[in-house]
């Protein structure tokens, strides 16, 4: 069989150029179809495409120090040697040394430096106006709000001028912290503030008694600017982690829609979102008492125990847990333990701008365990789930269709 070395090299170079365009998001839909056909030919092709899609130019810049002219000269020399070697092999009828598979393997070795060079060479080139862009679902960047006792709503933006308003607290805009500790009481009227955390947001709160509160996304907390002398009460919807300042004479109470949590001094997590089927109170340190609004029953739990209130039947029970898992969200982690995919998706929706449709309803009950960083975009988490299961995530705009692979 006659082999056209020049033709093979040209084909591989053309593919390299398309890969460059793909990584630069400068590829037409027709060119993307060509890449898909190429990727389907071998596992190494697929892996290279996946790596380029994940890393793009940023990793190449970080990992390689490229001299464009020098790399092109190296390639020209190498390709010329390959061409001469192939011609000699052909003339001597050494078919074993000139099989197409071997030749393509040598050509493939040359492709990576070509691709790297083309990345830098074409970085600022307008290659194509009909652009194909892989969909990336980013973290929501909503604005959290502080509602004062007067009803005035303050958007907690980075450019907020804190000198114009009497907040009765200090605001650290960089660390997203409101601090009410040691605020002077001006009169006997109890004033309440409400902090509303946006989708994809987080905030930290230090109450007037020194209690520290970490607030998860889509959470509301209502609290007095100064606590009463006989009780410390806050109202919560969503999820928060509390480190309660110890005061045996003045109990601390977290009130939710269905249950109350009463403590003296402790660390615990409360998840009380309105769209969840249960309210979970998880104790890390100390001791808490949980009571239902629908019965006289009260449960006292110890560290590494959790009270689960079932919203439907209004019953409470205690279960043993690894309590540290339930506060990892404040450290930027998603932690799942035998958790249903439908429940995981609800957590993701609080952080990322997504809508989810289950094409195969049975997938809702698939269970997962793991610890994942809260990435800037949702795609990495979906990729990790897909790689270990037969589940496929199809992304259309900001809609995610979940189906069997």
> Could you state, in order of their start, the residue ranges of all structural domains in the chain?
5-121, 145-323, 332-404
Measured between alpha carbons, how far is 106 from 115 in angstroms, rounded to an integer? 15
CA distance 239 to 205: 13
Residue 196: the pLDDT is: 96
- Which pLDDT belongs to residue 223? 96
Q: What is the pLDDT of residue 317?
A: 96
Q: Which fold has domain 332-404?
A: Phage tail protein beta-alpha-beta fold (3.55.50)
pTM (2 d.p.): 0.64
Can you give the pLDDT at residue 70?
Answer: 52
State the number of CA atoms in the 13 A half-sphere of 294 facing the CB: 12
Distance CA 48, CA 31 (A): 17
Structure confidence at residue 308 (pLDDT): 97
pLDDT score at 15: 73
Q: Is 313 helix (H, G, I), strand (E, B) or coil?
A: coil
What would the two tokens of residue 147 be? 């509602």
Q: How far is it, in rounded angstroms, from Cα 192 to Cα 384?
A: 43
Query: What is the reported pLDDT for 102?
Result: 45
Query: Which residue pairs, CB below 8 angstroms and at least 24 apart, start in 342-348?
Result: 344/368, 345/402, 346/273, 346/275, 346/276, 348/378, 348/381
List of residues 6+ apart from 54 with CB closer than 8 A: 380, 383
Is domain 145-323 in CATH 3.10.620.30, yes or no?
no
- pLDDT at position 278: 95
Q: What is the pLDDT of residue 135?
A: 62
The pLDDT of residue 64 is: 42
> HSE on the CB side for 34, CA within 13 Å?
16
Low-confidence ranges of the chain (pLDDT < 50): 1-6, 8-9, 57-69, 71-72, 75, 82-83, 86-87, 90-91, 93-133
**In this structure, what token pair is assigned to residue 381?**
């988490």
Q: In 50-83, which positions are buried (b, 16+ CB within 10 angstroms) versus exposed (e)?
A: eebeeebeeebeeeeebeeeebeeebeeebeebe
């Amino acid at each position: 069989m006659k082999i056209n070395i020049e033709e093979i090299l040209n084909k591989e170079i053309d593919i390299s150029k398309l890969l460059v365009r793909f990584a630069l998001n400068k590829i037409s839909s027709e060119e993307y179809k060509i890449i898909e056909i190429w990727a389907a030919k071998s596992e190494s092709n697929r892996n290279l495409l996946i790596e380029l899609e994940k890393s793009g130019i940023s990793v190449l810049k970080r990992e390689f120090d490229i001299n464009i002219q020098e790399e092109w000269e190296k390639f020209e020399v190498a390709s010329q040697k390959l061409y001469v070697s192939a011609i000699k092999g052909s003339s001597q009828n050494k078919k074993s040394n000139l099989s197409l598979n071997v030749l393509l393997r040598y050509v493939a070795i040359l492709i990576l430096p070509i691709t790297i060079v083309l990345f830098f060479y074409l970085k600022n080139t307008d290659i194509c106006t009909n652009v194909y862009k892989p969909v990336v679902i980013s973290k929501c960047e909503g604005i959290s709000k502080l509602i004062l006792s007067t009803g005035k709503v303050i958007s907690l933006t980075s450019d907020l001028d804190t000198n114009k308003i009497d907040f009765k607290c200090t605001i650290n805009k960089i660390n997203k912290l409101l601090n009410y500790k040691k605020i002077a009481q001006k009169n006997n009227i109890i004033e309440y503030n409400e902090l509303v955390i946006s989708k994809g947001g987080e905030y930290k709160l230090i109450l007037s008694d020194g209690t520290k509160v970490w607030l998860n996304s889509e959470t509301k907390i209502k609290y007095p600017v100064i606590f009463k002398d006989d009780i410390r009460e806050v109202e919560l919807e969503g999820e928060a982690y509390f480190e309660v300042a110890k005061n045996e004479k003045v109990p601390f109470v977290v009130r939710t829609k269905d249950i109350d949590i009463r403590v003296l001094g402790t660390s615990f997590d409360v998840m009380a979102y309105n769209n969840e089927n249960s309210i979970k109170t998880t104790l890390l340190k100390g001791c808490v008492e949980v009571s239902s609004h629908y019965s006289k029953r009260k449960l006292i739990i110890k560290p590494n125990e959790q009270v689960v209130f079932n919203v439907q039947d209004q019953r409470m029970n205690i279960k043993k847990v690894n309590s540290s898992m339930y506060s990892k969200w404040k450290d930027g982690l998603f932690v799942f333990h035998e958790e249903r995919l439908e429940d995981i998706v609800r957590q993701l929706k609080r952080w990322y701008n997504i809508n989810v449709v289950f094409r195969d309803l049975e997938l809702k009950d698939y269970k997962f365990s793991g610890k994942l960083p809260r990435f800037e975009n949702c795609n990495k988490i979906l990729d990790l789930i897909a790689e270990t299961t037969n589940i496929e995530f199809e992304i259309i705009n900001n809609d995610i269709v979940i189906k069997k692979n």
